[in-house]
Amino acid sequence: MIYEYSLALPTSTIALLKDIHMSLPLINLLKTKNNPKFWWESDQQSAFDNLKMRFSTAPILCHFNPKLSIRLHPNASNFAISGILSWLYNDQQWHPITYWSQKYSAAEINYDIYDKELLTIVDYIKHWRYYLEGSKRPV
């Protein structure tokens, strides 16, 4: 699921994005169509514990500094988009600023992979527009 952008990511961040599908039991709890019952079972608890462990051991998020270089790390899969906005800190390491993910709509799931990749880039530019416009360096 990780594409060409993964080379600049820390190992723990790559692992987090590779396993983004593990949050689906929790995402499915949020469905409101036809008023489904809220069931917290072992699948949901396992997904919650796994995500909690991964987020607490992943690289710590940094505050945005518009003077530093920014890099987008988008990821498109068959069911969702996810990604990381990172910046090059003084130690010459890329540090994450923010994470974002979104499940595809019913229509978007049917897109070809190249359309999903383009949708990911367009959505990220829209979502992180305030970071990108405030940057003093090219993205």
> In this structure, what CATH number is given to the domain that contains residue 19?
3.10.20.370
In a domain, 139, yes or no: no
The better pLDDT of the pair 16, 106 is held by: 106
Task: Give how many domains the chain has, as a whole number.
Answer: 1
Question: Residue 137 pLDDT more than 80?
Answer: no
Q: Is the pTM of this model over 0.85?
A: no
Instruction: Examine residue 73 and state whether it is found in any structural domain, yes or no.
Output: yes
Q: What is the mean pLDDT of residues 108-123?
A: 91
Please, are residues 120 and 130 in contact by the beta-carbon 8 Å criterion? Answer: no
Q: Is the pLDDT of residue 18 over 60?
A: no
- Asked if residue 110 lies in contact with residue 133, where contact means CB atoms within 8 angstroms, the answer is no
Mean of all residue pLDDT scores within the chain: 77
Do the domain assignments include residue 46? Answer: yes
Question: In terms of residue numbers, what domain contains 49?
Answer: 4-134
Average pLDDT over residues 107-117: 91
